[in-house]
Amino acid sequence: MTKISVSEALARRKSIREYTQEGVPAGLVLDVLEIASNAPSGGNLQPWKVHALSGEVKSALLEKTIEQAMNNPAGVDPDIPIYPSGLADPWRSRRADCGEVMYAALGIGREDKVARMRQGAKNLSFFDAPVGLIFTLDRSFCEAQIIDLGLYVQSVMLVADEKGLATCPQAVWSMWAGVVREVLGLAHSEMVMVGMAMGYANPESAVNQLKQPRIAVEDFATLHGF
Ligand SMILES: Cc1cc2nc3c(=O)[nH]c(=O)nc-3n(C[C@H](O)[C@H](O)[C@H](O)COP(=O)(O)O)c2cc1C
């Protein structure tokens, strides 16, 4: 694999929502998770925990979650909300645009609620990726440790990319924290913060072609005293 700069790696990484069925060996998963642990954390707490799921365990989580989703569309024992209630603009519009860009790539129209729901439900199978990751934090932590986890999660995605693996971060798993804990046998003290699909991208798939836009640096950065 040709070497690329950090800037190029950042620009190249994108969320992948269709995978080939090629498996990812446990050793490679552990390599990615280990290298990513060079991520910094406040006080070097290294507060992250990761559960890597494959095979029957991943299928069991899908089955249990779908079973529960019938009667609990808002999730089971969710740990953190995915968005604040009453998300204001400009973020509300960005969120809506993000969905529209994806549905456009898939050729799913504005009115096709069933197709949109079906696409959303693919989250629960980790988009059929061979590996699903669940990232947890101890319930005793405060907000600062969530920053550490975010740095770790991005590091996992970049190292995975370097190894030829594709990923999609998934906030949706926090909604199903109760099911995740039951299937994996986790204590209530482990908060389910975010999940991630990991595997080899299907290069042909339409949904994998999309590149979500970014706002201009002037719209979020302010220079002081230059
Ligand atoms: C913390 C976090 C949670 C996310 N949760 C989901 C999710 O549940 N489902 C999904 O399809 N994409 C999810 N995404 C992917 C975002 O939609 C995606 O990162 C964003 O649109 C930018 O696109 P890109 O990752 O391709 O650059 C999540 C991303 C992050 C960082």
pLDDT at 80 over 80: yes
Of the two residues 9 and 2, the one the predictor is more confident about is 9
What are 115-161's pLDDT values in tens digits?
A: 999 999 999 999 999 999 999 999 999 999 999 999 999 999 999 99
Single-letter amino acid code for the residue at 33: L
DSSP string, 82-147: SS-TTPPTTHHHHHHHHHHHHHHHHT--TT-HHHHHHHHHGGGGGGG-SEEEEEEEETT--HHHHH
DSSP string, 9-59: HHHH--B---B-S----HHHHHHHHHHHTTS--GGG----EEEEE-HHHHH
Which atom of ligand 1 is nearest the CA belonging to 13? 27
Pocket mutation for ligand 1, best pick of 137, 151, 167, 170 (most atoms within 8 Å of C-beta): 170
pLDDT at 1 over 80: no
The Cα 188–Cα 208 span in angstroms is 35
**Taking the domains of the chain in order of start, what are their residue ranges?**
15-210
Q: Is 119 in the pocket of ligand 1 (CB under 6 A)?
A: no
pTM equals 0.97
Looking at residue 3, what is its pLDDT? Answer: 87
To the nearest whole percent, how much of the chain has pLDDT over 90?
A: 97
> What is the chain's mean pLDDT, rounded?
96
Q: Which residue is associated with the tokens 């046998």?
A: 185
Pocket mutation for ligand 1, best pick of 16, 91, 168 (most atoms within 8 Å of C-beta): 168
By alpha-carbon position, which residue is closest to atom 20 of ligand 1? 212
Pairing state of beta strands 131-138 and 49-53?
antiparallel
Count Cβ atoms below 10 Å from residue 95 Cβ, excluding itself. Answer: 13
State the average pLDDT over residues 54-80: 95
| Cα(135) to centroid(ligand 1), Å | 15
State the average pLDDT over residues 78-88: 96
Q: What single DSSP character describes residue 204? A: T
Looking at residue 21, what is its pLDDT? Answer: 95
Looking at residue 161, what is its pLDDT? Answer: 97
Looking at residue 141, what is its pLDDT? Answer: 98
Task: Estimate to the nearest angstrom the gap between the alpha carbon of 226 and the chain centroid.
Answer: 37
State the average pLDDT over residues 75-94: 96
Longest dimension (CA), the chain: 57
pLDDT at 2 over 80: no
Which atom of ligand 1 is nearest the CA belonging to 102? 21
Is 15-210 in CATH node 3.40.109.10? yes
CB 61 within 8 A of CB 178: no
